[in-house]
Amino acid sequence: MNKSYRKSECRVCGNVETETYLDLGLMPLANNLEDTSRYAENAHRYPLEVEFCGTCKLSQLTHVVDPEVLFRYYTYRSSINGGYRDHCKKMAVSLVEENVLNGKSFVIDIAGNDGALLREFNDVTNCKSLNVDPAINLCKIAEDAGITSIPVFWNYENSNQIKETYGKADVITSTNVFAHVDDIQGFIKGIKNVLKDNGTWVLEFPYLVDLIERNEFDTVYFEHMSYLGIHPVNYLCQKTGLKIYDIQKFSIHGGTVRLKITHENSEIEVKDSVKKYLNDEIEKGFTTPERYRGWSSIVNSVISEFSESVRTLKSNGNKIAGFAASAKGNTLLNSAEIDSSIIDYIADETPEKIGKFSPGTGIPIVHIDRLRINPPDYIVILSWNFKQEIIEKLRRFYDGKFIIPIPHFQIIE
């Protein structure tokens, strides 16, 4: 039986007086794909709700599922996506230049998945590197690609062992992982423990401001335990003896921010970008509960529009498929109560997903070649954050129509 519990306090500051502002009902685990449609349709469900902390300004899920269940075997492969590989390449080049990394330098990538980012570092410089990821299957893939990997969760205790074995790091990267962590305080103490005095911790996460402003509710699922703005991260850093010294924005994943963080006593100077982002969040109201109230009704409208539009297309005799068996797609389909009677199949390129069935909906996940053999009239792009890349890829052999579900229902001819 899967383990979960109700979070009774804010994981950043301990505040117990939080306010729930989004309730998506009972949802299955987004990445726990099943072997049969029956098992998928009957997958165990948990309450999927988001609450706001008025003290440190964090948004977090009200219920936490055991990380051992979520992350020990992980079906998402970073290197499958060309857009993300390109993002990693540019990041590696810039960090090597900014931090003057060389053969004597040491880089740690936390939750480095199948080694996508560290492969790019290896192409740019011959520095020592380490991938720390709890997924045993992904660590094996990374190891096979020549990336030194250890299958453990990043926390303070494990950081001690890493420091003793490998030494302190010049650069620590953590992309799309901080939101996945329940023990955020142990995570950040581990960073402080292993980072060199003038080292840089690079923290990337999908930006809460974009999630709200662009109606990206489908990025809410159980792996994402927190929804982050700059204020709660700054709160944590100040509490731990670290400082944010630069912030940059990227369009990937529907809006991502990159924070560069170092020790509070580091010689690195804080740039104006930090104050700008903190002030912007205040001016836009993201530090007050009023900004979040009412968003749930907007989300319900987006879900209803998608559900009704797709059902109408189906009732008119159209064949509909999905592309990319993503976690966000799982939230969207379950919220809209769309199953295999509406969407025939979901095409994907990840080997671990093909032949499985989507949790909650029972929709079969098939190889991308099915789109050539049995092309639908419409393809719902479930990983809409990579829609341009996906459309360009599929247009080589598919001449039907695409559906973009977020931030609102859209058909591309």
Cβ atoms of 372 and 404 within 8 Å: the answer is no
Question: What's residue 136's pLDDT?
Answer: 92
- Residue numbers in the chain where pLDDT is lower than 70: 1-2
d(Cα 66, Cα 44) in Å, to the nearest integer?
Answer: 14
Which among 152, 112, 153 has a CA at the least distance from the CA of 129?
Answer: 112
Q: Which amino acid is at 71?
A: F
- What is the full DSSP assignment across 66-110? -HHHHHSS----GGG-HHHHHHHHHHHHHHHHHTT--TT-EEEEE
Walk me through the domains of the chain, giving residue ranges and CATH numbers.
153-291 (3.40.50.150), 302-412 (3.40.50.720)
Question: What's residue 129's pLDDT?
Answer: 95
> Over the stretch 81-95, which tens digit does the pLDDT of each residue have?
788 889 989 999 999
> Over the stretch 218-249, which tens digit does the pLDDT of each residue have?
999 999 999 999 999 999 999 999 999 999 99
Model pTM score: 0.91
Q: How many CB atoms are closer than 10 A to CB 39?
A: 15
Question: What's residue 81's pLDDT?
Answer: 75
d(Cα 1, Cα 270) in Å, to the nearest integer?
Answer: 47
CA atoms within 13 A on the CB side of 64: 18
